[in-house]
Amino acid sequence: MNQLEKVIIDADVCINLARYGKVNALRCVLENIAQNVFVHEYVLQEELLSSACSLEIRRMVKQSRIQSLSPDKDLSASQKTNYHAACDLLADAMGCVFSEGRCKHKGEVLSIAIAKTLGIHIFLSNERVLQKEIDDCINTGLDDIRVFRMRDIILWIKENKECGLSRKDARHIWLLSFDKSQMDQYKTEFDKLWPA
């Protein structure tokens, strides 16, 4: 199996994977896609709390399949300085105001900042414009972060059939990840990614 070394997950990918109820796609992907899977404590405690996949993610954390990261517990003093600087740059670029409590993109900002600080190069997220923001704000050629979107996950499933998901499963996961009003377009896109 072709595994990545380390990834950090965003809530949207977890929610999208969990929508497919026929098999536990969330577990099939997250247990196999990387040697080490991380989640920021904010994403775990705030963004995934009321989602359908919350129980499964918490179970995987308890089983040490996913490691929750906390800036207070997992970063040294100098790392915290770098983390907060990355948070500030990303929050400003993405219009995220931390003083508002739960704001749009807060989970992405915190996750990317801790990933940058700890050298986690892959961020599993389905946010379309996120790579440009990361490139503009914090990717400098050293410990750069790549957004691994649903398209990349589908291609990974295609190349790693040992993960337990078929083309049919991947197609359902893909289609459940997008707006139903454009379903024909997404069916065509999937067939180009993974021809029958």
CATH of the domain at 80: 3.40.50.1010
Q: Is residue 140 part of a domain?
A: yes
Which amino acid, residue 160? N
3-state class of 80 per DSSP?
A: helix
Of 40-44, 77-81, 88-92, 103-107, where does mean pLDDT reach its minimum? 103-107
* pLDDT of 124 strictly over 80: yes
Residue entry with tokens 């996961």: 173
pLDDT at residue 186, rounded to an integer: 94
Could you give the angle at which helices 150-159 and 183-193 cross, rounded to 10 degrees?
40
Residue 90 tokens read as 């990303």
- Angstrom distances, CA of residue 165 to CA of 9, 16, 161, 168, 192: 19, 15, 6, 8, 18
Q: How far apart are CA 52 and CA 191, in angstroms?
A: 28
Residue 21 tokens read as 């109820």
* pLDDT of 97 strictly over 90: no
For the chain, percent of residues with pLDDT exceeding 90? 81
Domain that holds residue 70: 4-151
pLDDT at residue 52, rounded to an integer: 81
For the chain, percent of residues with pLDDT exceeding 70? 99
Q: Is residue 184 part of a domain?
A: no
* pLDDT of 86 strictly over 80: yes
pLDDT at residue 22, rounded to an integer: 86
pLDDT at residue 51, rounded to an integer: 79
Dihedral (CA of 45, 50, 53, 59) sign: positive
Q: How far apart are CA 32 and CA 36, in angstroms?
A: 9
User: 125-151: per-residue pLDDT in tens?
Assistant: 998 889 999 999 999 998 899 999 999
* pLDDT of 50 strictly over 80: no
* pLDDT of 89 strictly over 80: yes
Q: Is residue 33 part of a domain?
A: yes
Q: Is residue 110 part of a domain?
A: yes
Q: Is residue 186 part of a domain?
A: no
Over residues 169-194, mean pLDDT: 94
Task: Count structural domains, the chain.
Answer: 1
Q: How far apart are CA 143 and CA 129, in angstroms?
A: 20
Q: How many residues are given for the chain?
A: 196
Q: Is residue 160 part of a domain?
A: no
CB burial of residue 88 (10 Å; 0-12, 13-18, 19+): middle
Dihedral (CA of 36, 74, 127, 101) sign: positive
Q: Is residue 158 part of a domain?
A: no
Q: How far apart are CA 65 and CA 55, in angstroms?
A: 14
pLDDT at residue 99, rounded to an integer: 77
Over residues 64-88, mean pLDDT: 97
* Whole-number average pLDDT of the chain: 93
pLDDT at residue 1, rounded to an integer: 84
pLDDT at residue 142, rounded to an integer: 86
pLDDT at residue 143, rounded to an integer: 86
Q: Is residue 31 part of a domain?
A: yes
Asked if 154 and 18 count as a contact pair (C-beta separation under 8 A), the reply is: no
